[in-house]
């Protein structure tokens, strides 16, 4: 297609779900824009050409002159800012922005507060939990971002609160989010195939704090502590006895309580979610909800009924005293460590871990300590199974399975009453499945067939 250059036009890079949502939004605003995608037939090409046949769409390598002549570039999260045409455009002074930037501007104009949540793990659970707390409190809340609907698709006139899950990819090209409260739940190595090192990944995550009014910090993870002005309100959550006004845990008469300072909030055994890692998620949600004024009674009520999300330490079945847990969303090392440490302490037996897939450049040695403590055996699947075995060699017993069906059969045969079979792959799913949901669904179906 020939290049069409206007005095003022936005260029949307990427025609996936986010890019298409941005195209729809800009069209509603009456703004001129064009679209570019490196793929020859991107996912929303047919839909865009049907709805907006006059919109120029450029396929293949990103044209340098098109990028350089744009008024602004709106970058989809799947596209790296290191693409040569984008690097050249940035040097020429073209602003490179995200859909989150566009969304945040509109939310600020409408004076609607934003809760912005990121982290290596648990961000979907905490985002959904805070959203449910707000709904229980009677607010008209919109929840999305990296979870569910793209941010610009959530914009509406009647919203009281936005609760947003944001990925590092989205945050790379986001500036001045200006959230009412922002949080990095935790930081552990992930997407090391995109980032040079943990520090660059960490820096992308911390862009969530730009312009925020309040922050929530994980007191158990120093990498979540932001550099913000003293005028920014700071609240922490941790697994220990907290300081005044902060959230944490306290033992009283043999019962573990979630507390704020000296104030008991709720006994941990009343949580509908299970696992020690979900106690931390509940504390994070309480801190975030308080920061935007959600009433405590509504938040407590939500915690007694919110059972968590599918594919995130989801109970599947109990067969002959063996529990089967689907944590297919455990796509990085930190998520799998959290699942092992969250589930292991309550067991009378050990964990049979099913792991493997696309490792994304991960160092799997962090699995050694929790597996040594709680693991019985690791059943390995997927492309990078050998990388996991090399990291665990001579420390944790491993066995290879040709596929998920074989892995479930092996785990079922070797687990005994009191054990737990856990699918938490520490890897992406794309070597064998369309997404982590398809992987988790397959695991769950195979388990249910055993009963």
Question: E-strand spans in 177-213?
Answer: 181-184
Residue 3 binned pLDDT confidence (cut-offs 50, 70, 90): very low
| Confidence (pLDDT) at 63 | 93
Q: What is the pLDDT of residue 275?
A: 84
What is residue 74's predicted lDDT score, i.e. its pLDDT? 97
Q: Report residue 261 CA to chain centroid gap.
A: 29
Both 59 and 106 in one domain: the answer is no
In a domain, 186, yes or no: yes
Whether residue 92 sits in one domain with residue 127:
no
Give the residue numbers spanning the domain of 172: 101-303
Three-state SS at 229: coil
Query: Which of 243, 269, 303 is where one domain is finished?
Result: 303
E-assigned strand segments in 202-321: 214-218, 233-237, 247-252, 255-260, 263-267, 314-319
Is the per-residue pLDDT at 189 higher than 80?
no
Q: What is the mean pLDDT of residues 396-409?
A: 97
Q: Is the pLDDT of residue 427 over 80?
A: yes
CA distance 228 to 392: 39
As a whole-number percent, the residues of the chain with pLDDT over 90 amount to 85
Q: Is the residue at 154 inside a domain?
A: yes
- At 2, is the pLDDT very low, low, confident or very high (cuts 50, 70, 90)? very low
Q: Supply the CATH number for residue 386's domain.
A: 3.90.190.20
Is pLDDT of 6 > 80?
A: no
Average of pLDDT values for 129-135?
98
Question: Quick one: pLDDT band at residue 64, thresholds 50, 70, 90?
Answer: very high
Residue 266 is assigned to a structural domain of this protein? yes
Q: Measured in Å, how far apart are the chain's first and last C-alpha atoms?
A: 57
Domain boundary among 273, 303, 333: 303
Whole-angstrom distance, CA of residue 48 vs CA of residue 52: 6
Q: Which tens digit of pLDDT belongs to each residue from 251-280? A: 999 999 999 999 999 999 999 988 888 999
Question: Of the residues 96, 112, 145, which one is the last residue of a structural domain?
Answer: 96
CB 180 within 8 A of CB 291: yes
Contact at 8 Å (CB) between 423 and 380? no
> Look-up: residue for tokens 């490179």?
96
Q: Can you tell me whether residue 159 is helix, strand or coil? A: coil
Q: Is 384 found in the same domain as 320? A: yes
| Per-residue CA distances from 371 to 352, 363, 434 (Å) | 9, 15, 28
388 part of a folded domain: yes
Q: Are residues 287 and 162 in the same domain?
A: yes
Number of other residues whose CB lies within 10 A of the CB of residue 90: 15
- pLDDT computed for residue 1 by the predictor: 41
Considering the domain architecture, whether residues 115 and 169 belong to the same structural domain is answered as: yes
Please tell me the pTM assigned to this model. 0.84
Q: Are residues 156 and 290 in the same domain?
A: yes
**221 lies in some domain:** yes
Q: How confident is residue 361, by pLDDT bands cut at 50, 70 and 90?
A: confident
| Burial degree of 82 (CB within 10 A; 0-12, 13-18, 19+) | exposed
254 and 336 fall within a common domain: no
Q: Is residue 183 part of a domain?
A: yes
Res 274: pLDDT? 81
User: Could you tell me if 371 and 353 are in contact, meaning their C-beta atoms sit under 8 angstroms apart?
Assistant: yes
Q: What is the DSSP letter of 297?
A: H
Residues 220 and 322 in one domain: no
* Average pLDDT across the chain, whole number: 94
**For the chain, what is the largest distance between any 2 Cα atoms, rounded to a whole number of angstroms?**
74
Cα-based angle 437, 443, 444 (whole degrees, multiple of 5)? 85
pLDDT in tens, 382-394: 999 999 999 998 8
Which sequence positions are flagged as catalytic? Answer: 123, 146, 191
13/148: higher pLDDT: 13
| pLDDT grade for 150, boundaries at 50, 70 and 90 | very high
In a domain, 4, yes or no: no
The sign of the dihedral angle between the CA atoms of 90, 94, 98, 104 is positive
Bin 229: left if φ > 0, else alpha if -120 < ψ < 50, else beta.
beta
Token look-up 């020690």 returns 276
Q: What are phi and psi of 164, to 5 degrees?
A: -120, 125
**pLDDT band at residue 83 under the 50/70/90 scheme:** very high
pLDDT-derived band at 5, boundaries 50, 70, 90:
very low
Q: Is the pLDDT assigned to residue 188 strictly greater than 70?
A: yes
Q: What is the model's pLDDT at position 346?
A: 84
Q: What is the pLDDT of residue 322?
A: 96
**What is the band of 402 on the pLDDT scale with cuts at 50, 70, 90?**
very high
- Statement to judge: residues 125 and 216 lie in one domain: yes
Residues constituting the chain: 451
Q: Angle at the Cα of 33 (from 28 to 34), degrees rounded to 5? A: 130
Residue 5 is assigned to a structural domain of this protein? no
Domain count, the chain: 3
Torsion of CA 188, 192, 196, 197, to 10 degrees: 20
Q: Quick one: pLDDT at residue 362?
A: 84
| Segment 305-323, tens digit of pLDDT | 998 888 988 889 999 999 9
What SS3 class is residue 341? Answer: helix
Pairing of strands 255-260, 263-267: antiparallel
Q: Tell me, what CATH number does 82's domain have?
A: 3.40.50.720
Pair 268, 331 in one domain: no
CATH number, domain at 148?
A: 3.40.1190.10
Nearest to 17 by CA among 68, 87, 76: 76
The token pair at 87 is 């690097």
Q: Which of 437, 122, 421, 436 is nearest to 276 (CA)?
A: 122
> For residue 86, which phi and psi values (nearest 5 degrees)?
-75, -40
Q: What percent of the chain has pLDDT over 70?
A: 98
Residues 135 and 210 in one domain: yes
Note whether 144 and 293 are same-domain residues.
Answer: yes
Q: Which helix (H) or strand (E) holds 421?
A: strand 420-423
């Amino acid at each position: 297609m020939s290049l069409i250059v206007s005095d003022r036009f936005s260029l949307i890079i990427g025609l996936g779900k986010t890019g298409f949502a941005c195209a729809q939004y800009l069209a509603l605003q009456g703004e001129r824009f064009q679209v570019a995608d490196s793929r020859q037939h991107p996912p929303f090409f047919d839909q865009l050409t049907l709805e907006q046949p006059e919109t120029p769409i450029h396929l293949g390598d990103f044209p340098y002159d098109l990028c350089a002549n744009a008024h602004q570039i709106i970058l989809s999260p799947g596209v790296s800012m290191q693409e040569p045409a984008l690097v050249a455009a940035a040097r020429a002074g073209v602003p490179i922005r995200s859909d989150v930037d566009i969304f945040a501007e509109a939310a600020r104009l409408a004076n609607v507060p934003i809760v912005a949540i990121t982290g290596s793990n648990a961000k979907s659970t905490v985002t959904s939990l805070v959203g449910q707390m707000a709904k229980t409190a009677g607010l008209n809340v919109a929840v999305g971002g990296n979870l569910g609907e793209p941010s610009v698709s959530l914009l509406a006139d009647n919203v009281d609160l936005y609760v947003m899950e944001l990925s590092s990819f989205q945050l790379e090209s986001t500036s001045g989010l200006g959230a009412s409260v922002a949080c990095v739940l935790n930081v552990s190595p992930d997407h090391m195939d995109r980032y040079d090192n943990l520090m660059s990944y960490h820096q992308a995550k911390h862009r969530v704090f730009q312009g925020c009014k309040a922050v929530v910090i994980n007191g158990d993870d120093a990498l979540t502590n932001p550099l913000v002005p003293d005028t920014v309100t700071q609240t922490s959550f941790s697994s220990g006895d907290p300081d005044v006004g902060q959230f944490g845990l306290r033992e009283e008469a043999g019962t573990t309580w979630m507390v704020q300072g000296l104030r008991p909030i709720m006994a941990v055994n009343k949580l509908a979610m299970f696992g020690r890692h979900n106690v931390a998620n509940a504390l994070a949600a309480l801190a975030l909800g308080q920061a935007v004024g959600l009433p405590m009674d509504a938040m407590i009520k939500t915690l007694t009924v919110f059972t968590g999300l599918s594919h995130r330490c989801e109970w599947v079945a109990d067969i002959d005293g063996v529990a089967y847990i689907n944590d297919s969303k455990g796509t990085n090392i930190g998520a799998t460590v959290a699942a092992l440490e969250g589930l292991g302490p309550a067991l009378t037996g050990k964990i049979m871990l099913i792991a493997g897939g696309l490792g994304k450049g991960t160092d799997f040695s962090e699995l050694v300590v929790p597996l040594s403590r709680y693991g019985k055996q690791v059943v390995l699947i997927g492309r990078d199974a050998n990388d996991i075995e090399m990291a665990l060699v001579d420390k944790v017993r491993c066995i290879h399975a040709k596929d998920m069906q074989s892995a479930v059969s092996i785990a079922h045969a070797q687990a005994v009453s009191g054990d737990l079979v856990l699918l938490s792959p520490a890897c992406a799913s794309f070597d064998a499945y369309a997404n982590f949901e398809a992987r988790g669904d397959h695991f769950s179906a195979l388990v249910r067939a055993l009963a």
